[in-house]
Amino acid sequence: MSQQMDNSHRKFLQSMMTNGIVDEQRAAMLYQQCCDTYKTKCLPDKLNDFIDTINSKLQPLFMQIRKGWSEEDGQQHYALVNVAETDISRMSSDYADYELVLFRKTIELIVVSETGQASSTDILNSTDTMTTKKLKKSETEHLLNRLVRDKWLTEKRGEYSLSTRCVIEMEPYIRTMYQEQLKMCHICHNIAFQCQICENPTCCIKIHNPCVARYFKNKSEPRCPACDDFWPHEIPEIHQPLSQSK
Residues of the shown chain interacting with Zn ion in the complex, contacts defined by CB under 5 A: 185, 187-188, 198, 200, 203, 208, 211, 224, 226-227
Minimum distance from residue 76 beta carbon to Zn ion (Å): 13
Half-sphere exposure of 202 (CA within 13 A, CB side): 3
Is 126 exposed, middle or buried (CB count within 10 Å of its CB: 0-12, 13-18, 19+)?
A: middle
Minimum distance from residue 208 beta carbon to Zn ion (Å): 3
Nearest to 116 by CA among 232, 209, 234: 209
Minimum distance from residue 200 beta carbon to Zn ion (Å): 4
Q: Which residues pair with 196 in a beta bridge?
A: 207
Nearer to Zn ion, 12 or 216 (CB): 216
Report whether 177 contacts 123 (CB < 8 A).
no
Report whether 156 contacts 146 (CB < 8 A).
no
Nearer to Zn ion, 154 or 209 (CB): 209
Nearer to Zn ion, 12 or 74 (CB): 74
Nearer to Zn ion, 20 or 241 (CB): 241
Minimum distance from residue 223 beta carbon to Zn ion (Å): 8
Angle CA(52)–CA(148)–CA(62) in degrees, nearest 5?
Answer: 30
Minimum distance from residue 8 beta carbon to Zn ion (Å): 34
Nearer to Zn ion, 58 or 68 (CB): 68
Return the SS3 of 199. coil
Return the SS3 of 67. strand
